[in-house]
A = this chain, B = another copy of it.
Amino acid sequence: MQLISLGTQYAITSLIILGREPVGTAMSAADLAKSLESPSTYLSQILAKLNKPGIVGSRRGLNGGVYLRKKPEKIRLIDIIEAIDGSSFFETCFLGIKGCGDIEPCPFHEKWGEHKSCILFWLEETTLQNLCDDVTDSWILDRMKFDRKGVS
């Protein structure tokens, strides 16, 4: 059991790597995938889902790749999660009872609602910038497995 899917985990880690470069810097899905040890075309598909909400853009061809379209402080964690997983986690009943709601609540409705709100608030206020700030250089270097051009 996980709150977010594997695909979203890949996406967030990719964006943390991307977010440490100047906005607009492109990285290929293949390079990012090498870092994450994930299949590159699969990562490509995942990152493409961040295109519609305007989080990233992409360029085909030589020196192309995926790049941020917003400043990291404008990208909220919840936006990334919703783009890929949707918002089902925040909408479903703890007991899986259909029809559960304020009118006919299951015995978990109120308390579980509080917990969900608490998590939701956190995901809304946390930005990619916060994540990039929290990450140590050694942590990120451990995950930069590709050869960066121009970096010895």
Using CB atoms and an 8 Å cutoff, list the residues of chain A in contact with chain B: 1-6, 9, 12-13, 16, 85, 88-89, 92, 94-97, 104, 106-108, 111, 115, 118-119, 122, 126, 130-131, 134-135, 139
Contact check, A95 vs B1: say whether CB atoms are below 8 A apart: no
Besides A3-B94, A111-B126, 10 other A-B contacts (C-beta < 8 A): A1-B2, A1-B85, A2-B96, A3-B3, A9-B95, A12-B95, A104-B139, A106-B139, A107-B131, A115-B122
The answer on a CB contact under 8 Å between A96 and B1 is no
A89: nearest chain-B partner, CB-CB = B1
User: Separation in Å of the A102 CB from the closest CB of chain B?
Assistant: 14
A115-B119 contact, Cβ under 8 Å, with A1-B89, A88-B1: yes
